[in-house]
Amino acid sequence: MGIVSRGFHGRRSTEVTLPPGQYLVHDFPVLSAGPTPRVPPEIWSFTITTAEGARHRWSWQELLDLPSERPTVDLHCVTKWSKLGTEWEGVSLDTLFAGIDRDGDYAMVHSFGGYTTNLPLEDLLDGQAWIAYRYDGEDLPAEHGGPARLLVPHLYLWKSAKWVAGIQLMSTDELGFWETIGYHEYGDPWREQRYQGD
């Protein structure tokens, strides 16, 4: 694991530990597999579909009307950059899943533009994931997934789908965009699960 000096406080340095193979960046790289979709808030909506097919949909205004949280989290990209202490605002998936039948153990996340990524439902719950619409005190820029993206920072950042449109629950696991072409189905940066078989 890389030990990185985060800064100096008086004469003592504060050291932080990065996941294996990662290095620290201070800018915010943009990584998109295709063109940036422009999704006006009037058109944006977010839908949770249960394994049985029940649909729960929020408009942009309905999302904003839900209680929001302001997580400060570290980001770890599979291309090996990590960015620490990023500040977001968004709605917890716990809030969105309240009262919804959790009839599948797996989730496929869908984005405007066609991107998909899969993860276990339990990784979206218990304060681990948000639909984020503000970053660093500003509306989330389109290149970083605005108007809203999934933020699931304990997994490699490809799981944090930008321009998120919905989550489909499934009773069996299926693979998303990167997972289909060889990335790890789970993607824990601390276990360095970059590629299938890691």
Ligand X SMILES: Nc1nc2c(c(=O)[nH]1)N[C@H]1C(S)=C(S)[C@@H](COP(=O)(O)O)O[C@H]1N2
Q: Given the rule CB under 5 A, which residues bind Mo ion?
A: 31, 77-78, 158
As measured in angstroms, the least distance from the Cβ of 89 to ligand X is 15
Quick check: 158 binds ligand X (CB under 6 A)?
Answer: yes
The residue among 31 and 43 lying less far from Mo ion, judged by its C-beta, is 31
Residue 58 interacts with ligand X (CB under 6 A): yes or no: no
How far is it, in rounded angstroms, from Cα 48 to Cα 122? 15
Q: Which is nearer to ligand X, 103 or 192 (CB)?
A: 192
Of the residues 68, 82, 92, 160, which one makes contact with ligand X according to CB under 6 A? 160
For the chain, how many residues are written? 198
Q: Which is nearer to ligand X, 33 or 54 (CB)?
A: 33
30 binds, among Mo ion, ligand X, none (CB under 5 to 8 A by kind): ligand X
Shortest spacing between CB 157 and Mo ion, in angstroms: 5
Binding site for ligand X (CB under 6 A): 28-33, 77, 111, 113, 115, 144-145, 157-158, 160-163
